[in-house]
Copies of this chain bind each other. A is one copy, B any other.
Amino acid sequence: MLNFDKEAFMKVMKGAVNVKPEVDKIVKSVTEKGYRTLFLVGSGGSMAIMLPFDYLLKAHSTIDVRTEIAAELMVRGSKFLNENAVVVLSSLSGTTKETVAAAKYCKEHGATTIGLVGELGTPLAEIADYVLVNYSENDFAGDSIYIQLFELLFGFMAAKGEFPDYEEMMEEFKNLPEALYCVKESCEPKMSEFAKKNKDETYHMLVGSGSVWGETYSYGMCVLEEMQWIRTKTIHAAEFFHGTLELVEKDTSVILMKGEDETRPLMDRVERFAEQYTEKLSIFDTKAYELPGISDKFRKYLTVLVICTMFEVLSKHLEKERDHSLDLRRYYRVIEY
């Protein structure tokens, strides 16, 4: 696979799966203390990574979940951010300024904080009341944090009696590293072909929905815009027909990120429209990929993991075909702002 270190990937994935005993302690302790509101807080990619769980908890749980952009939460405040709140934040480096500041802000308001980091001893790890640690290369950070968030947040649901199959799903999570690797291998030809065909595209419309929407939003912003300097419009499938559709012409690149949750019919509708009006429709559908060792009944929850791991492969191929390093920046860590 292009620019891919399988050994490193498997190590990171296994590490993520293996935070389970620590998750159990946190869920038990937090649930025993009791909480009213669960905040998921981040910025950009680290906020977007929370969105699948915002969706999944809203769909399947009575937990009052609220996803917030760190900087906005800190200036706006929330009447629910108090000693009855639990706040989950993630920062691989443990140093992301806005995330660290948000963790402090939430603690000052009495909330219990849980930090997901790549390393102990970092500012977020020091501030958070509870910490999950799994070192990861940037390349696999999405998968790694998603796995840990599944363990943690479905753990909270299970503790409320809202996800009785939790331990069974967690048992199957041991098969995830290999399963996700299989996805990567299977999708690579498609990703390579897309990158070759679209290397000169200057604009993509990305459409997603449900538990996949967060990946749609962040792939547009954090990869295509930030790392490849390509303009994007990311649009939720349920919003597509309320404006953005009018931009579709026969040479407009439309990318569908299809998952397998309840919102799939919304994506089907966009697909039926787009296949009539553009010759540049690209469909990336998690359904095309097997997840060996994962039961069918768990697939629909996990599609964001599949999409994420697929698009990590795409990034490498875009980097190669466009001869544009994923590490190149005009501004981030180049100038002060």
Contacts and interface: CB of A to CB of B under 8 A. Distances in A.
Interface of A: 43-45, 47, 55, 58-59, 61-62, 64, 69-72, 75-80, 203, 209-210, 218, 221-222, 225-227, 229, 231-233, 235-236, 238-239, 241-248, 261-263, 265-266, 269, 272-273, 277, 329-332, 337
Contact residues of A: prevailing secondary structure:
mixed
Contacts of A75: 210, 262-263, 265-266
Contact of A226 (B71, B246, B277): B246
Given A59-B76, A76-B58, A337-B273, A222 B243 contact: yes
Contact of A44 (B47, B80, B242): B242
A241 to B, nearest CB: 7
- 8 closest A-B pairs by beta carbon, nearest first, are A44-B242, A221-B243, A226-B243, A71-B238, A69-B238, A75-B262, A62-B79, A72-B238
A326 to B, nearest CB: 12
Nearest to A337: B273
Nearest to A331: B245
Copies of this chain = 2
A59 B72 CA distance: 10
Nearest to A334: B246
B238 A70 contact: yes
Contact of A245 (B71, B239, B241, B332): B332
A337 B238 contact: no
A247 B263 contact: no
Nearest to A69: B238
A47 B241 CA distance: 13
10 contacts: A43-B238, A47-B242, A59-B76, A76-B261, A222-B242, A225-B233, A225-B244, A226-B243, A226-B246, A246-B330
A43 B242 contact: yes
A77 B262 CA distance: 9
A55 B76 contact: yes
A337 B43 contact: no
A44 B243 contact: yes
